[in-house]
Amino acid sequence: MGSDTQTVAGGRTIDKDALLAKYIAERDKRLRPDGNDQYLELKGQLSHYLEDPYTPRVERDPRTDHVTFAFIGGGFAGLVTGARLVEAGVNDVRIIEKGGDFGGTWYWNRYPGAQCDTASMIYMPLLEETGHMPSEKYAHAPEILEQCQRIGRQYGLYDNALFHTEVEDLSWDEAKSRWVIRTNRGDAFTASFIGLGTGPLHVPKLPGIPGIDTFKGHSFHTSRWDYDYTGGDPSGAPLEKLADKRVAIIGTGATSVQAVPHLARACQTLYVVQRTPSSVDVRANAPIDPDWFSQIATPGWQQRWLENFTANQGGSITEEDLVMDGWTDLSRRIRSKINELPPEQRTPRNMLAAFEDSDFEKMDEIRARVDSIVQDGETAQKLKAWYRQLCKRPCFHDAYLQAFNAPGTHLIDTDGQGVERITEKGFVVAGVEYEVDCIIYASGFEVGTEYTRRAGFDLTGRGGLKLSQAWGEGMKSLHGIHVRDFPNAFFVQPTQGANLISNIPHNLTESGRTIAMTVRHALDVGAKEVEVTPEAQAAWVDLLLTGMGRMLGAPDCTPGYYNNEGQDPGPAAALNVGYPQGASAFFKYIDGWRTSGAFEGLTFR
Ligand code: NDP
């Protein structure tokens, strides 16, 4: 066999050069000069798309008091940091959240079928602490939202929380060594310490399709699902009000993949409007057996599971794979390809080639799966993803492809070009107008826009320095948490830390623990200020740059938010990386760092 062919499961032969050429041709079709600017910011006439359909806003008096710790964002980051602070004896924690309750992404995303794509046992935070057993291997959204509320209740985080409140300004008061927080509800209070955990995907965006504001029917974004219009509820009750409706869902990313089966069952006619197909692998969800759970849930169980998953992801050969999902499967395949090489041939180049081969094989399986499920040959062809698996967010579902076999469900493939126009009555693709009663935008969230635009505020640190200036040439931090000139501020997010993308909550729970121990230490030694030294920050950034670089979204990938919509992300993107030795090594390192009590690189004064 020639070096450019590969035989995969089912006896199919892949011509690698032809496949790569197809990938590039499909990518080129989708490249467009406007990149992130193709999307619309939801302001002015479009701001109604942001309204909260779930919780009425309650009037309250502005706060002008002082708290020990204020946290911006009431999702997983704020909840786990708040919980760890309370465990450390810091009780006046105030969480500020733009939604009407805790939950973050799980507060907003209540679309039918929403569920986690990473196994609940490791995805849902603080399961052991709260004594909750997930009901399914991949829990549905209402259960995850309940877990957020459970954490809020158990740690008393509701008492001091400010919901439906957006921070507008955060400034360091040099004289008093504290932060001043101003919000859109007239609050102007102070905090000794602040935490920031606003998450990467929380500002919905709409596609900039000409005529989008002319549609006379009903429309909404998936993160503001209008159950009054559709009927049904987030736990999957039938969307009975759609029985006589013609509905279009625009977008076929992870959200659409989960919502489409529910819409297909309910709508008189459903148009699924596709620009780029998702790769949709097997889900294999299953209930969790309480007997099994009671046997494995011995003290420390969730930490063991977290570490096991991360180790399997990182390519280390552990005794067992507890989670057994699409992520660990991918790592297993890469490992076995590398193991096929004689030890002396395990060079970085050969290892990358092994990685590529396992990807070709995986994507071939995913495309073959489409043929085995979708009855109409032409539709099946259009649903096939022609790119490497980590070019776009991989999806997993056992009812999405099947939905295209329902007589009322139609795939409207735009051949990579997107919707041409929206009219008063519907939408136009390739010159054909489709009349609909409702358009649902499954068009995702802002990622590549300015941090300040997404957060709604800038931070003003020491000497009036803005965070946007400090990070003007890219993010600079120690451990992804501490930033020079922004004393007593802690960032809770994965970049420049473990950067474990396959299980974001693991990054957050570890950061929460680190921050709580740091704050506890500051309080114990009577320090009013905690700050990273310039040397420690510079050394950390230098260390990060010794790594392999970014794993997700190579420039030759089909455009999407993983690769800045196919545009050069600029030199700053080189800093959006994690610890060079990988996530497991980072977690081990950070545990040693914080438990040593030395907090090396920080000054306490
Ligand atoms: P995405 O950004 O992934 O998808 C947006 C979709 O809209 C894409 O299919 C995009 O096409 C399409 N689109 C954009 N513009 C146009 C246009 N002009 N015409 C037609 N189609 C268009 O958003 P999602 O909400 O699906 O997912 C966002 C992220 O949220 C996921 O990637 C994932 O990280 C997370 N998520 C996680 C879930 C989980 O863990 N269970 C579930 C859901 C979401 P194109 O691909 O061509 O750009």
CB 333 within 8 A of CB 361: yes
| Token reading at 247 | 């509905």
Span 43-65, pLDDT tens digits = 888 889 999 999 999 999 999 99
CB 49 within 8 A of CB 224: yes
Q: What is the pLDDT of residue 552?
A: 67
Beta strands at 426-429 and 421-422: parallel, antiparallel or unpaired: antiparallel
Among protein residues, the one with the nearest Cα to ligand 1's atom 22 is: 251
Q: What is the pLDDT of residue 1?
A: 42
In this predicted structure, the answer to whether residue 77 has a pLDDT above a threshold of 70 is yes
Among protein residues, the one with the nearest Cα to ligand 1's atom 45 is: 276
Instruction: CATH 3.50.50.60 in the chain: give the residue spans.
Output: 31-41+204-278+392-441, 66-203+447-604
Task: Give dist(CA 450, CA 195) in Å, integer.
Answer: 19
DSSP secondary structure string for all residues of 28-97: HHH--TTGGGGEEP--GGGGGGG--SSS-----PPP--EEEEEEE--SHHHHHHHHHHHHTT---EEEE-
Is 275 or 457 the better-scoring residue by pLDDT? 275
Among protein residues, the one with the nearest Cα to ligand 1's atom 34 is: 393
In this predicted structure, the answer to whether residue 166 has a pLDDT above a threshold of 80 is yes
CA of 234 to the centre of ligand 1 (A): 19
Q: Sorting pLDDT into bands at 50, 70 and 90, what band is 317?
A: low
- CB neighbour list of residue 175: distance below 8 Å, 6 or more residues apart: none
Task: Give dist(CA 191, CA 174) in Å, integer.
Answer: 13
Q: Which CATH number fits domain 31-41+204-278+392-441: 3.50.50.60, 3.40.50.1360, 3.30.450.30, 3.30.70.260?
A: 3.50.50.60
- Position of tokens 């007589």? 407
| Token reading at 306 | 């977290």
Phi, psi of 248 (to 5 degrees): -115, 135
Task: Give dist(CA 527, CA 119) in Å, integer.
Answer: 41
CA of 421 to the centre of ligand 1 (A): 19
Q: Which atom of ligand 1 is nearest to the CA of 392?
A: 32
Please report the beta strands in 518-574, taking only residues with DSSP state E, as ranges in sequence order: 530-532
Among protein residues, the one with the nearest Cα to ligand 1's atom 8 is: 251
Span 548-558, pLDDT tens digits = 776 666 778 98
DSSP H/E element including 219: strand 218-221
- Residues in contact with ligand 1 by the CB-under-6-Å rule are 30, 115-117, 201, 207, 209, 250-256, 258, 273, 275-276, 393, 414, 418-419, 442-445, 560-561
Pocket mutation for ligand 1, best pick of 30, 37, 252 (most atoms within 8 Å of C-beta): 252
Q: Which atom of ligand 1 is nearest to the CA of 418?
A: 19
| Token reading at 194 | 């602040």
Among protein residues, the one with the nearest Cα to ligand 1's atom 4 is: 253
Task: Give dist(CA 157, CA 91) in Å, integer.
Answer: 9
Among protein residues, the one with the nearest Cα to ligand 1's atom 13 is: 251
Q: What is the pLDDT of residue 42?
A: 86
Among protein residues, the one with the nearest Cα to ligand 1's atom 17 is: 418
Q: What share of the chain has pLDDT > 90, as a percent?
A: 79
Please state the rounded mean pLDDT for residues 14-38.
91
Residue (of 483, 482, 448) closest to 469 by Cα position: 483
SS3 338: helix
Q: Which atom of ligand 1 is nearest to the CA of 109?
A: 43
Phi and psi based region of residue 476 (left: phi greater than 0; alpha: psi -120 to 50; beta: remaining): beta
In this predicted structure, the answer to whether residue 3 has a pLDDT above a threshold of 60 is no
Residue (of 519, 517, 492, 496) closest to 506 by Cα position: 492
Architecture per CATH, 66-203+447-604? 3-Layer(bba) Sandwich (3.50)
Look at the pTM and tell me if it is higher than 0.75.
yes
Residue (of 93, 127, 139) closest to 286 by Cα position: 139
Span 489-528, pLDDT tens digits = 999 999 999 999 889 999 999 999 999 999 999 999 999 9
Q: What share of the chain has pLDDT > 70, as a percent?
A: 98
Pocket mutation for ligand 1, best pick of 249, 257, 275 (most atoms within 8 Å of C-beta): 275
Residue (of 81, 56, 59, 57) closest to 69 by Cα position: 81
- CB neighbour list of residue 429: distance below 8 Å, 6 or more residues apart: 273, 412, 414, 419, 420
Tell me the average pLDDT of the chain: 93
Is 494 or 346 the better-scoring residue by pLDDT? 494
CA of 512 to the centre of ligand 1 (A): 29
Among protein residues, the one with the nearest Cα to ligand 1's atom 36 is: 254
CB 459 within 8 A of CB 447: no
Residue (of 370, 375, 130, 115) closest to 262 by Cα position: 115
